[in-house]
Structure 1
Amino acid sequence: MKRITTIQLYILPVFLLLLISCEDLLLEQPKTVAVENFYNTAEEVETAVNAIYSPLRSTRAEQIAILDAHTDWGYGRGSRAQYNDFSGLNATNINTSGSRWNSFYQAIRNANLVIYNAPNGNDISEEEINYFIAEAKFLRALSYFDLVRNWAGVPLRTEDNMLEIDLPKSSVSDVYDLILSDLEYAEMHLNATASLIGRPTIYAAKTLLADVHLTLGNYDKAMAKSKEVIDSNNYSLVEINEANDIRTDIFGSDLVTSTEEVFYFKYSREIGQGNFMLFILNHPSTGYFNFGGAYAHYSDASNPFYINWEDGDLRKELWDKVDFGLGPNTLVSNKYMELDAVGRSDGGNDLPIYRYAEVLLIFAESSARNANAVTPEALEALNKIKRRAYGLAIDSPSEVDYSFSSGEITEFLDALLQERAYEFIFEGKRWLDLKRVGRAQEMVMKNKGITIADAHYLWPIPLSELNFNGALDPDTDQNPGY
């Protein structure tokens, strides 16, 4: 404890966290104090937990935009165009990927401080300690899940080694082992109902567990965890009738929460507390954002991805044709709308990490893969997503339903992968999905006609990390191509 206390001015940042949008606000203003005087009460530990969110919230919009420029449908403009060249990152984008790395490790460091110090509090119950450690471990797992999928093996910093500067890369399997361990603890000690909107619950932990198991190919476990979330009856898809309902009722800036929210990062119309995604995506001509927009990411109506997208799917209407110098087929997203932002970086829209739609699709995929057959339950889960996309009754059979025999597993998984692509545009899922199922090259070639360089599959370990961390060898520990 003495060693942590002596350097606490360096390792205990001061953050202001706003966890929910609109009128229900949690404002925390932690002061820089000695550790032995800080982690004693539930209020103090909660303030320390809040500091975990700040770096994750600040980098999330950028992370999503960058991931979706890597896809078969997405493009970046200006310096961001290099992401969709699929030739690896240039110096500018190596630096920006390093800033995202730093944000994840800042969140991990803040989580480690909570996990290490909370048990030593003298005026906090064991139940409260377990809960806050569970929240910290959930967020640490989420951070490492981003790191391992985009950088592969990374230094595994925990509460046990957080003061060690020189730390070697851990294997991908070791990183996943920690993720699973953290989430199993979170699942055990989080609440079934969020203590405050924006806090993770047992079901958020189960959903993240399901996604991790799906990524690892543990289909039986992914199916079981996603089914537990479904069977809780705590969530349902938001019904829609037109495309504007998606903008307002699922992603709207005035929403506090919805029946679909499993775990979101929360933002507010407050300077320094808002969502940057609106400015990244919007174009001034469309009128969906009161600060115009940088239209830094876009799509193209001549791309087969868009051409083959069925008309009548309301999600397809979340694109506007805007010729800003790249031709009349250029598409600009209007998925996130905000007319009352207080600054160009401060929209009130929350960003989903997990929606109930994804729970259904994880269940559909994992149960089909586990059975090596199209089960009725898997087919129904997939069809719920498609019916909602057409504005139809979610729980009633319809003319747009998929119909597969039990043996048409390949066709079913193809359709499911495409539904995930349509459903999660600008939610940062597609590139990771394509890598997970081993179809990135196939789909990028099909829709963009581009060969992916090996260097593009992983981001480079930042030079600052290689210089700072003496246990890393730049010649052997750097990712391929850098």
Structure 2
Amino acid sequence: MKLKIISLISLCFLLFMGSCENMIEEEIYSDLTEENFLTTEAGISAVLNQAYVEAQQPGQLYEHRFSESAINSGIAYGTGGSFQANTAVPFRDFTWTSNYNHFSTRWNSYYQGIRNANIIIDNLADNESLSLEFKTQTTAEAKALRGYFYSLLLQNYGSIPLHTSILINEFQLPRSSETEIQELIEADLTDAIGVLPVSQNLYGKYTKGTALAILCRYYMNTKQWQNAANTAKDIMDLNQYELFPDYVSLFGHDNEQNSEAILVHPRTVAINGGSTVTAMMTPPDVPLLPNQGNYAMRLLVFDEFIDSFDESDKRKDLFVTQYINKSGDLVQGYGNDMTYINKYPPDPNGSGFGNGIDFMEIRYASILLYRAEALNELNGPTQEVIDLINMVRSRANVPLLSVGDFDQSSLRAHILKERFWEFWFEASEREDLIRNGTFVTRAQERGVVAADYHTLYPIPQDEVDANTKLNQNPGY
């Protein structure tokens, strides 16, 4: 398809100069032509790479998911800079609104990723000039990405407009039913799983395990327990993943591309590619490596959460309970609700606010606990459920559990604690609480004026304003 671009200025100029015989013809420089873009491997691959960029959400988009989830769950709070008023307080008090800019930016990023996936799927469907292997593999990656984006949209906003092709003239669509959205997510990810390899040459590209992990999380959050348990077992049976031996060094720069990473977001120090999470959560008076800086904000952990860990738990080692500040003074964090997080340590090669620290959105430990949780929901405590939990606890150096110590209800509550201890500040606290049915009640216990509608975020107001067929989520 030829892309014909006529600007309003050019059109006015043509009308004004209509009597001239020798017009200056503007030469359009663009790769977006039928001959050399969407019919070539290079062109299709460029669109696919951009879809991956939207999934990785460069800049602070993905990092804000960490702080929002931790603050929302009540284990941490934010202070300092504009972050306190614009992000920390609204997520602490559940006073976020449909005009919150991160909602609209994130929504746009997800839908841009969906658009790119649709471009690939549409243009490869009847393309006979490319190899079958390339078409099959690339379509599978595009479907896995589309399934990923829609699973996040469904989880955060509920039913939303479903765009499955760029070959339409109608851009304003109403909400699709949750059933329609779920059917697409399951179909996309299932198709991808049947094609994707167990490993890729390029780190960060989706594999069979990645698509299975996205599907497993989706099944968990929609409470399809048997499907979730089966999918977790499929991941385990790939024999591609295992728990990294040392939790404390798991998240550092030196141990990237480890055996536990399934869905990972690579980061580089390059402009707009680096991670800013270290700069976001390190107090301003903490000495850093040369040429590195941090923001005026800080994310601090409540003593109550730290006290919930077993005394021998190695995972506590990534909390900084006291430190020597830039002035040489001792700052006592623990005991004053001022412990800070060192889960993502500074990158020795970092620059300014940027670090090349990769993020693991889903790792193997989560799959083990997903299967344990799903099996408990199906059958209550069994030895297999306890064994799965103990695999994670063993690495943390905490006492192992016994099956006789729990009934189904008490084990459900304990698995939620296990997930908090294992995945704190990995952007999973909010969804775990929602799935557990305690997100609102726990907030109310903290004195927050919370209601059931808070389990969904509002549709960005600019989207509602632009689309007359799209109504706002209840309560907003």
Quick check: TM above 0.5? yes
Asked if 1:294 corresponds to 2:301, the answer is no
Q: Deviations over 1:147-203 (max 9, x none)?
A: 111111111112156653211112223222211111011111111212321111111
* 1:38-91 per-position Cα deviation (integer Å, ceiling 9, x unaligned): 133333322221010222322222223222221121223312222333333147
Amino acid at match of 1:66: E
Q: Residue 67 in 1 paired to residue 66 in 2? A: no
Moved more, 285-294 or 194-203: 285-294
Map residues 178-189 of structure 1 onto 2, 5 A cutoff: 178-189=184-195
Q: Does 1:481 align with 2:475?
A: yes
Whole-Å separation in 2 of the counterparts to 1:466 and 1:178 = 23
Map residues 214-253 of structure 1 onto 2, 5 A cutoff.
Answer: 214-240=220-246, 246=248, 248=249, 250-253=250-253
What secondary structure, in the 3-state scheme, does the structure 2 residue paired with 1:251 have? coil
- 1:33-52 aligned at under 5 Å gives the runs 33-52=32-51
Distance (Å, rounded) in 2 between the aligned partners of 1:141 and 1:118: 18
Check whether the contact 2:383–2:403 (CA below 8 A) recurs between aligned residues. no
Alpha carbons of structure 1 residues 325 and 180: separation in structure 2 relative to 1, 3 Å: same
Three-state SS of the structure 1 residue aligned to 2:340 is strand
Separation in structure 2 between the aligned mates of residue 362 and residue 221 of structure 1, nearest angstrom: 11
2:343 is equivalent to residue 335 of structure 1: yes
Q: Distance in 2 between matches of 1:34 and 1:429?
A: 42
SS in 2 for 1:132: helix
Over 3 Å counting, the alpha-carbon distance change for 1:271 and 1:94 in structure 2 is closer
Q: Distance in 1 between matches of 2:307 and 2:256?
A: 35
Partner of 1:368: 376
Residue of structure 2 equivalent to 1:313? 313
Q: How many angstroms does 1:335 deviate by?
A: 0.4
1:421 corresponds to which residue? 420
Aligned to 1:12: none
Q: 1:326 to 1:378 in 2, by over 3 A?
A: closer
CA distance in 1 between partners of 2:353 and 2:343 (Å): 16
Aligned-partner SS, 2:348:
coil
Aligned AA (1:425) = W
- 1:6-405 equivalences under 5 Å are 6=4, 32-57=31-56, 58=58, 59-77=61-79, 78-79=84-85, 80-90=87-97, 94-159=100-165, 163-240=169-246, 246=248, 248=249, 250-287=250-287, 291-294=292-295, 296=297, 298-303=299-304, 305-321=305-321, 328-371=336-379, 373-390=380-397, 400-405=399-404
Contact kept? 2:213, 2:235, Cα under 8 Å: yes
Counterpart of 2:376, as a letter, is A
Which deviations, in whole Å up to 9, do the C-alpha atoms of 1:406-427 show, x marking residues without a partner? Answer: 8622222211111111111121
2:454 match: 456
Q: Give the deviation of 1:269 after TM superposition.
A: 2.3
Question: Which deviates further from its counterpart, 288-297 or 179-188?
Answer: 288-297
Q: Secondary structure at the match of 1:189?
A: coil
Q: Could you say if the C-alpha distance between residues 289 and 71 of structure 1 is closer, same or farther in structure 2, counting changes exceeding 3 Å?
A: farther
* Aligned amino acid, residue 281 of structure 1: M
Asked whether the equivalents of residues 454 and 480 of structure 1 are also in contact (C-alpha less than 8 Å), the reply is no
Structure number with greater Rg is 2
CA RMSD for the aligned pairs? 2.7
- How far the C-alpha of 1:403 sits from its partner, in A, is 1.4
2:6 & 2:245 partners in 1: Cα distance?
49
Structure 1 residue identity aligned to 2:474? P
Quote how far apart the aligned CAs of 1:226 are. Answer: 0.5
Aligned residues of 2:39 and 2:123 also touching (Cα < 8 A): no
Superposition TM-score, scaled by structure 1 size = 0.83
Kindly provide the amino acid, as one letter, of the partner of residue 367 in structure 2. Answer: V
Question: What is the total number of aligned residue pairs between the two structures?
Answer: 437
1:297 Cα deviation after fit: 5.0
Question: Aligned residue for 1:25?
Answer: none
Structure 1 match to 2:21: none
TM-score with structure 2 length normalisation?
Answer: 0.84
Deviation at 1:225, TM superposition (A): 0.9
Percent identity (aligned):
28
Structure 1 residues 203, 381: closer, same or farther in 2, change over 3 A? same
CA spacing shift, 1:319–1:56, aligned 2, 3 Å: same
CA deviations on 1:265-308 (whole Å, 9 max, x unpaired) are 111122222112222222244446652423745244433x3322
Which range is displaced more, 68-77 or 197-206? 68-77
8 Å CA contact 2:114–2:149 kept in 1: the answer is yes
Cα distance change on mapping 1:439 and 1:46 into 2, 3 Å: same
Contact residue 279 and residue 293 of structure 1 kept, 8 A: yes
Q: Which amino acid aligns with 1:355?
A: R
Q: What displacement does 1:460 show?
A: 1.7
